[in-house]
Structure 1
Amino acid sequence: MKGALVLLLLLVVVVACGHAEHRGKPYVRDKVCKEYRTMGKDDFRALTLIMNSKKFSNATFEEVSHLVHEIVSLAETCCTDDADPSCYDAGSSALSAKSCDPNSPFPRHAGVDACCAHTGLERKLCMAALQHSPREIPRYAEPDGDELCANFAKDPKDFADRFLYEYASNYGQAPLPVLLGSARSFLSMVSTCCISPAPTTCFLKEKLERKTLSLLTLLSNRGCSRFAAYGKDKMKFSYLTMFAQKIPSASFEEIFPLAEDAAEAFAQCCDSMAEDCMHKKV
């Protein structure tokens, strides 16, 4: 999983990092194509959708979908056995140029014009660094079972895409493995309960089973958002203050290790690709 996620980042930003640049453009293409073949088009596309929804949290579903389509098409075209060796680099350059078009269908960002003043790798690196500020308060509200099933029945694929977009853009600060696990669990619940002879009972049971994972997603999104804003030391002080207010009878010696452990957990897990990191620490 870790290798796939890291390498997908190379594709999502469509840029060769310095290490890859030294080893040559075929190195980037070969690594991306290996992951595309290993994951398969559908999983590759779903993860690309999640990554770009996190990255461009204020973009519309249509804008993110356009970008995802181009990225997946690039891999699909350039990862065939008979693809020209220059296909990937040429395609990523074309994608970068398309982002500079005033009528680009991709997510908008105030920094695009400055990036487009550059060319080649410098432009790609600049584009890669662009991202929207994460949403401070998640706006996603889960519909009731009847509405979920009605939307699912209309178009299961579109339903899944829109959910992944909404969930990732609202909880974009949560560690990627937590986000993936929670999203996968939700879609499994919907696909199971919407064909159940007793959907209401099914949803109640499944939501109860998902409660821990849903809470973990909410808490880790909130905690990682604070960690990104304050850093480890300030976050530790924040927890010290919170614990002191909530447990006024506790001594400094008692609450300090708790605050230290909480800050350390987010320091280790917010950017971790380990699937169980946050589960173990929080």
Structure 2
Amino acid sequence: MPVQIESFFDAVTHTISHIVYDRPGGHAAIIDPVLDFDPSSGRSARHGADRLLAFLMEQRLTLQWILETHAHADHLSAAGYLKDKAGGQIGIGRRIDEVQSTFSRVFNLEPAFRCDGSQFDHLFGDGETFRIGELDARVLALPGHTPADVGYQVEDAVFVGDTLFMPDVGTARCDFPGGDAATLYRSIRKLLALPDETRLLLCHDYPPPGREPAWRVTVAEQRRANLHARDGVDEAAFVKMRQARDETLDMPRLLLPSIQVNIRAGRLPPAEDNGVRYLKLPLDAF
């Protein structure tokens, strides 16, 4: 059965959330949903997530999975909200415990916070298969940007998270804790070894002037034209480029709030005794 895909671009965070489904009236997975958040006021909202819910209702879809490609550093996840509203299981890569352990120390969350991935409903291993209704899906471990990055292959489409961007933008940064440029290069080559016609669905786009946001590209197009990882760029050259580039990048604007939510499977921190939830701002920790 051909896979059905509907994609939603969030202009504030440049994130693309995808709904994958087998047929109208069937079953669906939501990949990388966004929770609206204004860091200047501390206000959260659910406008983007409600767009996803509206599409599910229009197509009469049962939400089976809410899939995270990794613990994002550039947007807060709406996974918890979507599960409360529409059901489904929240899944992420098995190595999320490594990311949780790192940031639990940064935010001093232990011992109350468990660093074992138990906040998620399912932890996926490399090569694991599962179903979205009548669709076959497979997990591809894609570490490098973070240790826990995974892609989800559904029929001829692969949802690659932050591993690759559009060819004129290149590849993800590797300077977060646990990131590694050589590891990312090998993950990229794993993707580019797939058949040329395989569709790669991206999680972000930062288009240069004059181009509209885009998020679908084939393996063949990436191999021919990716700014950082096209055919002919070897591992040593990629690592040198990636490390030099990462040294020039600022910290993502939403890294500190987003990580605290995303390692909790899209749940806000628990309310304190005054009924208010707080996100921590560690001083001079980076």
TM-score by length of 2: 0.29
Between structures 1 and 2, the one with greater helix share: 1
TM-score by length of 1: 0.29
Query: Which protein shows a greater Rg?
Result: 1
